[in-house]
Structure 1
Amino acid sequence: MSVEAIPTSKRANPTIKLDDGTFTGTTTGTIDKFLGIPFAQPPTGDLRFRLPQSVDAYTGTFDATAMAPSCPQQDLTLPISDVLAQEAVDALLNTVYGVVFPDSEDCEYFPKYCLYINVVKPSSAANDSALPVAVWIFGGGFELGGPSMYDGTSIVQRSIDLGEPVVYVSMAYRVSAFGFLASQEVKDAGVGNLGLQDQREALRWVQKYISTFGGDPTKVTIWGESAGAISIALHMLTNGGDTEGLFRGAFMESGSPIPVGDITGGQPYYDDLVERTGCSGSSDTLECLRGVEYQTLLDAVNQSPSIFSYQSLSLAWLPRADGVFLEDLPQQLVLQGSVANIPFVNGDCDDEGTLFSLSNLNVTTDAEVTTYVSEIYLPTGTSSEISQLLSLYPSDASDGSPFDTSVFNAITPEFKRLAAMQGDLVFQAPRRFFQGQMSGKSDQWSFLSKRNKAIPVLGSFHASDILNVYGGGDMATYLVNFVNSLDPNTNSAGVATGGLLNWPQYSNSTPTMMTFLDGLIPRALSDDTYRSDAMTFMTELSLMHPI
């Protein structure tokens, strides 16, 4: 269907009515935006470290012309090393990690809530348009980030240009300790994985209100990258795989069911917060943390290890099995068949681990690698298991990541080795395990992004594929097709569109990946068989020794 441009000079700011509330947004050309709409009550005071509470029916008038502050962010320092070339630094700072997020726990300093939702839609979309809906969940290692990282305008514009318009939604959710506090106390109170619970509440909001914006609540695809993609995978696993009608498809970039353990594994970090905030003497430390002054709590959270600390991807704050949202370990739920039977796309960047290996450059010998792996990732692993793993990930630079770069980019004797292991442990091996388990059960597609391979040290680094979507690349067309038809190749009428290479479905018998490449041939098909022995053993270890 076509959308005709309406001269902006003749249009007032758009308004939309939800319940008895009137929201005023902004318009640009053929696209309207409604930003910063609260979907849950501020998680402050007694609501801090509790399940999200829905907002009351809207009344009055609301300014929806700008995004609200992000939820509280954990302080971190990007691993900008002296060994990085300026080209690599620019790739980090000026693309996917170059955003500073204003944050707030509530509306004390800002007239907005931190739990808010944004809707970007074609201006012509009316409440009877029934357009498919793409719901974006941002990434950031479960420690930082917000919807303001990326603007959905380019996605909606691409959908309009293709004649397959969609409505774009993005939501905020609690991150770091505010969203993923973990301990026995948290488990006993049933308040684990609050960031995931926030996302689920936002999806319920979509079901209730999206038709007013022209969206079809029965045609929702959840889509995200990194922590956002991992979140989506966990939404597929929760509730016995019952989606509750909240979504019908999933599009995951660099994220799948990860090898994490029980929520009590976060006890040391919880205890540290309790100590730093003066709650040690309390008979109810969780209740005490609810009453701690915000800045005091944030300062304590900032002392916990970040994703760019020495322990890297062994995160302090992340989803864990809590007995409520995740009734068992994620990969065990996959084995049990507790997975939503919906079409999905799942893929990775080629060099997922390079960025996260810049924080352990002081690990430079075989002995130090053995110690690092055993202490950080496999504290319950045997010496023979660790020895076998290291034999499958040798120190030869030509085998390491960035892959296919020979002996180049070996900024330390063990950098490329650690990058290969860490990227496979958290991203590549879990994806292959998930897709293998879902073979024959769901329609699925897989991809590998090998673009930006020439960036020194980093190669096709984690999150570099985002530019291929939000930057208007060919992945955006595949995405729009999938949101419309649950097939990346065709539009809602089942007709191949976009003039792109046909993307075959993935199965164990034909593990075909769409591979995005630099150069004159931007796309090719490849088999998901690389590092087979290494990743098979990695998966065996992760099932026995979750992080």
Structure 2
Amino acid sequence: MFGIVAVAVTCLCHVQASFGSPTVKAPTVQLDRGTFTGVNTGNVSRFLGIPYAKPPVGNLRFQRPVAHPSYHGHYNATAFGPSCIQQNTAIEVPYNVSPTALQVIDGFFGTNTTNPPINDGEDCLTVNVIKPAGIPAHTKLPVAVWIYGGGFEGGASNDPSEDGGAIVQRSLDLGHPLIYVSLNYRLSALGFLPGKEVKEAKVGNLGLRDQREALRWVQKYIAAFGGDPKKVTIWGLSAGAISVALQMVTNGGHNEGLFRAGFMQSGSPVPVGSITALQPVYDAFVANAGCSHSHDTLQCLREVPVAKIRAAINASPSIFSYDSLVLAWGPGADGDFLKDDPQQLVLQGSVSSVPFVTGDCDDEGTLFSLSNANITTDAEVESYLSEFYIRNLPNPSAIEKLLKLYPSDPTQGSPFDTGLQDAITPQFKRLAAIQGDIVFQAPRRFFLEQRSHKQPTWSYLYKRGKNNTVLGAYHGTDIQSVYHGADLGDYFIRFVTTLNPNGKTGIPWPKYTTSSPQLLTLLDGSTPLVITNDTYRAAGFKYLTQLSLEDPF
């Protein structure tokens, strides 16, 4: 034991010493017959913008990813590649929202503004590898593969707030060195086009297929960087966490040896139905792209200029529209990559039997309920739920029971545990509670209840930032505790490297079991970490899960 620690310290000192010299050469790595030149930053080497698949352009648009051919020649790997095409996102502020709500929304996002994408394009299927500098190829370090979030509409592997170098440096500080890989995948219509035409062509869930292809790339090439292909953990936030879960449930649960563990932040197997149920989305996209009169609309979509594709994407609802978390573009059962509703796949046992961590923020739904702030009455809440979440159940008492479990009383809504505060409309906190629970919290508990007795599992609840006006401990606020924090990040690094999050820092984090469903709970104040029981809103979660299984959205 002490010998291993001593070796790790010696290697780290060697790396640090090597960067004290101004004559250190830029790092290189040989892949096939190609030489990739990266860049050093402190104790970290970065190889950026490496293509893992052929550009999905021309006739490869709306096709499954094709692995990149063997590399030849010299490649400059010192800069990130373009992001995949982003959907422009605007907050649709209701006309009658209160002045206080307007001020809050404008402060966080800008009222009715659009943030244009920067340096995005179709030729975007690249990976980035960030590793401890100076390690030899035979080191065989564990690997963390990051899958970004963004509602399957936005996001990129070059987000400066998600700096893999900070993770690698912290792993060195802990004596648990790892390699960080991030990947791009196609988004919105280019990655998640629904419809019967898509199902028949077997080109559904292309963004998830991109991720799978990138994981195959890791298996083939990560050893050249000093990584161990047998020690890969897939990890993501939000849409990225949902992606991790869906990579676990696809292919009958057989993961092809692509990963040995999963780490999910605000995302689990979601209750989504067939992609054919979203035929109106496909038809509208085809019309907006000018392909309605074609006898082969998919082929027409492959041939139109990318500007038309971009415009048709931006004409669709976004995650911050009135539709909110019922996405126009997102994963769905396509009969091939996802043969069924993901929650049904879990019930069928189609789950990769690997250790996993899954956690949520306390107020997952607040961020996504700002655009619904014109909903102010019980009747309007009922109408909204029946339009988007509970569409196919003939019994009207289904929604009545749900509204009893999630009353309009703001002291029971989200942000939770804030009393009468943040009730910007009579229904905001109620709708935020329902939306956060049906998409994030209830699916997490369902996944754990179904799998914790079959594989090692841990779970957490992030309750920091409860003083954030209106939003509380809102969706995504836990990510910086991994990238730049010393508590959840340390647990994450140890999980990637040892398959056990526990170690010298933090408090003991017990495994999650159905008989003892315990959560690592992260708090503000002088006691930042405690263990709590995952029993809150039990009746609500149980009923939401029942509804989701009967009527996935």
| 1:520 is aligned to 2:526 | yes
2:139 equivalent to 1:139: no
**Aligned counterparts of 1:9 and 1:181: Cα–Cα separation in 2:** 50
Residue 124 of structure 1, CA deviation: 2.4
Q: Counterpart of 2:256? A: 244
Deviation, 1:100, is: 5.3
Alignment of 1:29-428 (within 5 A): 29-78=42-91, 83-84=100-101, 101-106=118-123, 114-149=124-159, 150-381=162-393, 382-428=395-441
Amino acid at match of 2:70: A
Deviations, residues 428-464 of structure 1 (Å, cap 9, x unaligned): 0001001000021010000000011110000000000
Q: Distance in 2 between matches of 1:293 and 1:311?
A: 28
Aligned counterparts of 2:481 and 2:104: Cα–Cα separation in 1 = 18
Output one character per residue of 1:243-275: Cα deviation in whole Å (capped at 9) or x when no partner: 100000000000000000001022111100111
1:478-530 deviations in whole A, cap 9, x for unaligned? 010000111100xxxxxx32x21000000110000000000110000011100
Distance 1:231 1:182 in 2: 17
Consecutive unaligned residues of structure 1, counting only runs of 5 or more, are 107-113, 490-495
Q: Does 1:23 align with 2:36?
A: yes
Separation in structure 2 between the aligned mates of residue 367 and residue 373 of structure 1, nearest angstrom: 10
Residue 532 of structure 1 pairs with residue 538 of structure 2: yes
User: Is the 8 Å Cα contact of residues 154 and 472 (structure 1) preserved in structure 2?
Assistant: no
Deviation at 1:99, TM superposition (A): 10
Q: CA deviation at 1:199?
A: 0.2
- Shifted more, 413-422 versus 56-65: the winner is 56-65
Check 1:88–1:295 CA distance in 2 against 1; reply closer, same or farther (3 A cut).
closer
CA distance in 2, matches of 1:78, 1:118: 31
Q: Which runs of 5+ in 2 are unaligned?
A: 1-7
Other structure's SS at 2:432 match? helix
Query: Secondary structure, in 3 states, of the residue corresponding to 1:147?
Result: coil
CA contact (8 A) 1:233 1:256 kept: yes
Return the TM-score normalized by structure 1: 0.95
* Aligned-pair Cα RMSD in Å: 1.6
The C-alpha deviation readout for 1:37-95, integer Å capped at 9, x for no partner, is 000011011000000001110011111111111111111114688535978866669xx
Q: In 1, Cα distance between the equivalents of 2:130 and 2:230? A: 18
Alignment partners' CA distance in 1, 2:280 and 2:208: 22
Aligned residue for 1:487? Answer: 500
- Paired residues in the alignment total 530
> Would the aligned equivalents of 2:187 and 2:207 in 1 still touch at CA under 8 Å?
yes
Give the Cα separation in 1 of the matches to 2:402 and 2:218.
45
Counterpart residue type for residue 420 of structure 1: A
Q: 3-state DSSP class of the match of 1:41?
A: coil
Deviation at 1:473, TM superposition (A): 3.2
d(CA) in 2 for partners of 1:534, 1:314: 19
After superposition, give the CA deviation of every residue in 1:107-146 in whole Å (9 maximum; x if it has no partner).
xxxxxxx000000000022110000000000000000011
Selected match of 1:454 from 439, 456, 467: 467
Closer/same/farther in 2, CA of residues 8 and 354 from structure 1, 3 Å limit: farther
Q: Distance in 2 between matches of 1:79 and 1:388?
A: 30
The one-letter amino acid of 1:258's match is V
List 4+ stretches of structure 1 deviating above 2 A: 78-93, 97-102
Residue identity in the other structure for 1:456: T
Other structure's SS at 1:465 match: coil
